[in-house]
Amino acid sequence: MPELPEVETTVRALRPHLNGRRVVRTRLYRPDLRWPIPAEIGALNDVAFVQMDRRAKYLLMQLEGGTAIWHLGMTGNLRVIDAATPLRAHDHVDMELDNGKVLRFHDPRRFGALLWQPEGATHPLLSALGPEPLGDAFTARWLFDRSRGRTMAVKPFLMDQATVVGVGNIYANEALFEAGIHPARAAGRVSLARYTLLVERIRSVLARAIAVGGTTLKDFSSPDGFAGYFVQELKVYGRAGEPCVQCGRTLKGSMLGHRQTVWCPGCQK
């Protein structure tokens, strides 16, 4: 599933194609994706595009009167293409633009979503989210205070969207390795000093991944069709049984919080 860097890559790629444009017509080729598509979406005609932003793994397409909320799910993809481009199987939504282009959503598995947030409101899916990992509100003190007394392992603690948004499985593995923290250590047993280092590593890992277009593993590709290259920099994720890049010991792997987890028994404590 696309994680924060992949979604951020999509947002940045789409902005130049949408800035200054109007959505002149919306075509829904099915009534639902993961959830029913709200009627307000189908009624979007001749409205100005305002801004494309991201909150967690949601793409927020701000328009006159409200915001279209996109989620890519596992296989979703948004591209701006010529309006005359023939539909393919699994093309579900077109937003026709005033320049002869169309914003098209393609999603074979239909785990993606398209929802509506009226102007001045906050959608329930966004209301309980934690701070952005690259924002000022995400600090070591926030993690430390929130983790006190928690016996939950630190990796699923980081992946809890109420703790911090967008630190998915790939980047949690990588950041914990770079911070030298064992993923199964209880969140409440991580010191403030170690959380300080972990916050730095989370920011660094995500920033590096965004810079190279994310980590394309299977179904995701950016709107320009190119793969992300951070997969070439992965130090632990997907490398169980291989030697550690730092100490040479064999990396271990197991399921933690129902997600594949890889760590170094020598470097992570």
Catalytic-residue membership of 25: no
Residue 94: DSSP 8-state = E
**Active site residue: 5, 8, 54, 57, which one?**
57
CB 39 within 8 A of CB 68: no
- 21 marked among binding-site residues: no
Whether domain 4-127 has CATH 3.20.190.10: the reply is yes
What are the residues facing 61 on neighbouring strands? 52, 68
The confidence band for 212, taking pLDDT boundaries of 50, 70 and 90, is confident
pLDDT at 1: 62
Mean pLDDT throughout 56-68?
Answer: 97
pLDDT at res. 247: 97
pTM of the model: 0.88
Tell me the pLDDT tens digit for each residue of 89-134: 999 999 999 999 999 999 999 999 999 999 999 999 999 999 999 9
Is there a catalytic annotation at residue 259? Answer: yes
- The verdict on whether residue 109 carries a ligand-binding annotation is yes
Is 150 annotated among the ligand-binding residues? yes
Tokens of 251: 């990396």
| Domain residue extents for the chain | 4-127, 140-263
Q: Would you call 2 a catalytic residue per the annotation?
A: yes
* Domain 140-263 CATH class label: mainly alpha
Q: Regarding beta strands 22-28 and 91-97, do their DSSP bridges make them parallel or antiparallel, or are they unpaired?
A: antiparallel
- Give the per-residue pLDDT at 2: 77
User: Considering 25, 110, 203, 259, which one is annotated as catalytic?
Assistant: 259
